[in-house]
Amino acid sequence: MRQAIPFGKYLLLDRISVGGMAEVFKAKSYGVEGFEKVIAIKRILPSMGEDRDFIKMFIDEAKIVGQLAHANICQIFELGRTDGAHFIAMEYIWGKDLLQIQNRLRKLKQQMPAAMACFLVAKVCEGLDYAHKKRDALGRPLEIVHRDCSPQNILISYEGEVKLIDFGIAKAASRSSKTQAGVLKGKFGYMSPEQVRGLPLDRRSDLFSVGTILYECLTSERLFVGETDFSTLEKVRNVDVPPPRQVNPNIPEAVEKIIMKALARDAEDRYQWCSEVVADLQRYLMSQEQVFTAKSLAGWLKEAFAADLEKERQQLEAFKKVGREGLIAGVPQAEAKLDVVEHLGAAGQSEDPTMLGGPSFDDILAEQAGAEHAAAPPKPEQPGDEFVEEGPTEIFGEIS
């Protein structure tokens, strides 16, 4: 176990993920009477510390999510600054993200059950619906649009909870840093057609992204993926969507109708609110002989990731022994003074900087070592390959 590092009033226990702009740590917070809690700390990288636009975006994220209190949205506890670095203290979700679940299913050569996919997406929609309808203290609509709904931004806990994370590029009427006209932000394969065109966005853009996620969960194939970023954008713009039952005939017709309506090219032809998607998904779920619940999801997750779960459980037990000064019984105090980046590990392959449920740093290093060992250059994803994580993307201009 690596040495914990003091960080203001917190202890950094382990790095969860690192990207080009921020890094996320598993951390411990303290209170009176021996109170302790494992949380996540999202911290701006030193290299981004002077980037005022990014710092504004980072602060905006905290301000937006700080106003949201919903069971399906990851909670933020604090926006702070320590040793010159801005950070967000947030809820730690002990579990996996949807991208990891999709890849585990592929490894097991299994299709995601329709009930499981519908349950997951319904919970995501409940969180989005709350955000879309949120008003400020004066009753004015905040007009929040997530703009980055993708599998790596959906976390599932071992207790069956579903949480939406990463409002880092969310649009809200009150944002201090406005999105520049003609700039695309988000993950290309999960954008809406209007997002690709750089047009004004509303909640229905998130609905299209939800449709893409549900499609991929049930077909085990990427919907919009090309050999280049621009070819992917072109696929999204054209909305060339084969009916999902052509890919997987076991998808219920009622669910296919939900998917195709969410993926309508024209926003006016889609569902207008996430609550409408929830109602249709729940109608399907309630029609089944055995109702899929959070307990069902938890049971599946614990079985599919049994080895990971035991390893993580042992790690959490070890973290309990960490003292308030970052010391572990039997470890000399001098060893607690090591540099955070050097001691917790150097950056591996770039990850989405806000993925709380992502791989451990050891996994990142292992993936990087495997990539260096492979002589062949990376190739476009083909059916049967793993779902690959799209990093943060930004491109100027419009696909016409």
Task: Give the span between the Cα atoms of 37 and 73, in whole angstroms.
Answer: 19
Helix, strand, or coil here: 166?
coil
The token pair at 90 is 């947030």
SS3 79: strand
Spatial distance between the Cα atoms of 83 and 50, rounded to a whole number of angstroms: 14
d(CA 260, CA 301): 28
Look up residue 316 and give its two tokens. Answer: 């959490």
How far is the CA of 185 from the CAs of 15, 92, 388, in angstroms? 25, 25, 18
Residues in the chain: 400
Q: Which two tokens stand for residue 137?
A: 């203290």
- Examine the residue annotation and report whether 148 is marked as an active-site residue of this protein: yes
The amino acid occupying position 332 is P
Distance CA 236, CA 90 (A): 33
Which listed residue (97, 148, 166, 308) is catalytic? Answer: 148
Separation CA 368–CA 376 (nearest Å): 14
Using CB atoms within 10 A of its CB, is residue 361 exposed (0-12), middle (13-18) or buried (19+)?
buried
Residues 215, 208 contacting (CB under 8 angstroms):
no
Residue 263 CB neighbour total at 10 angstroms: 23
Structure-token pair, residue 179: 């999105």
* Degrees, nearest 5: CA angle 114-118-121: 140
Would you list the DSSP string of 15-53?
EEEE-SSEEEEEEEEE-GGG-EEEEEEEEE-GGGTT-HH
Q: Residues 134, 138, 143, 146: what is their CA dihedral angle, to the nearest 10 degrees?
A: -50
Catalytic residue numbers read 148
